[in-house]
Structure 1
Amino acid sequence: MNVLVYIGAALAEIAGCFAFWAWLKLGKSPLWLVPGIASLCLFAALLTRVEAEHAGRAYAAYGGVYILSALLWLRLAEGVRPDRWDLIGTAICLAGAAIILWGPRPS
């Protein structure tokens, strides 16, 4: 379940941040901020659905998923192919996220 929540949160965060990017960097209408803010609110709500004992761990583990999603955005939305260093770094981050979220903890 956490993986699906993280994927949804990442899509919502990237879409919301891109709306601000489009407005400030690409000269798009300020109306782009309306769906952008809604998307960022959805992002925050989704992160509360992660099954974790502490918010900080849920947020830290989400970082790896966000990095993967950002590189997918780079490829699909911007047409730039991630290089091997992007992919190696992403793999390391996802491994770290898995350790943070699912590592054994004392009871």
Structure 2
Amino acid sequence: MLIIKTTALFIITAVAEILGCFLPYLWLRKNGSAWLLLPGALSLVAFVWLLSLHPAASGRVYAAYGGVYVATALFWLRYVEGVELSTHDWVGAAVALCGMAIMVSGWKYS
């Protein structure tokens, strides 16, 4: 159950981080409104807060989060930006998620 809850929280965290970076990208590279910076900044604040919700040591949280971030970024690329993913992309995401699961399964709480 810990891995499911942690993964769900990591996915929400990754979406907040990606959105927080994507909105300024739209402003800088796609002639978007400067108003995109406000929700982008709020999204990055949410990202930091969400990472702080994990009871494990911060370095462990960041390392495990990286695996979910990789997979979430690829889903974003496919379903938000409409880019086709290769088999290598999907396999890489699976490997990253396996790494996250291995790390989280070893977390000890006191």
Give TM-score, length-normalised by structure 1. Answer: 0.90
Tell me the residue number matched to 2:36. 32
Separation in 2, partners of 1:90, 1:22 = 25
Residue of 14, 17, 28 corresponding to 1:13 = 17
SS in 1 for 2:82: coil
Residue 48 (structure 2) pairs with residue 44 (structure 1): yes
**What letter is aligned with 1:6?**
F
Give TM-score, length-normalised by structure 2. Answer: 0.88
Q: How does 1:60-99 map to 2 (within 5 A)?
A: 60-99=63-102
Once the two structures are TM-superposed, the CA of residue 75 in structure 1 deviates from its matched residue by 1.0
Separation in 2, partners of 1:72, 1:35 = 21
Structure 1: state its 5+ residue gaps. Answer: none
Once the two structures are TM-superposed, the CA of residue 7 in structure 1 deviates from its matched residue by 1.2
Structure 2: state its 5+ residue gaps. Answer: none
**Cα contact 1:23–1:33 (8 A) shared by 2:** yes
**What letter is aligned with 2:75?**
L
SS in 2 for 1:82: coil
Residue 109 (structure 2) pairs with residue 100 (structure 1): no
Figure out how many residues of one structure are paired with residues of the other and give that number.
Answer: 105
Separation in 2, partners of 1:100, 1:94 = 10
Separation in 1, partners of 2:18, 2:65 = 13
RMSD: 1.6
Q: Percent of pairs identical after alignment? A: 45
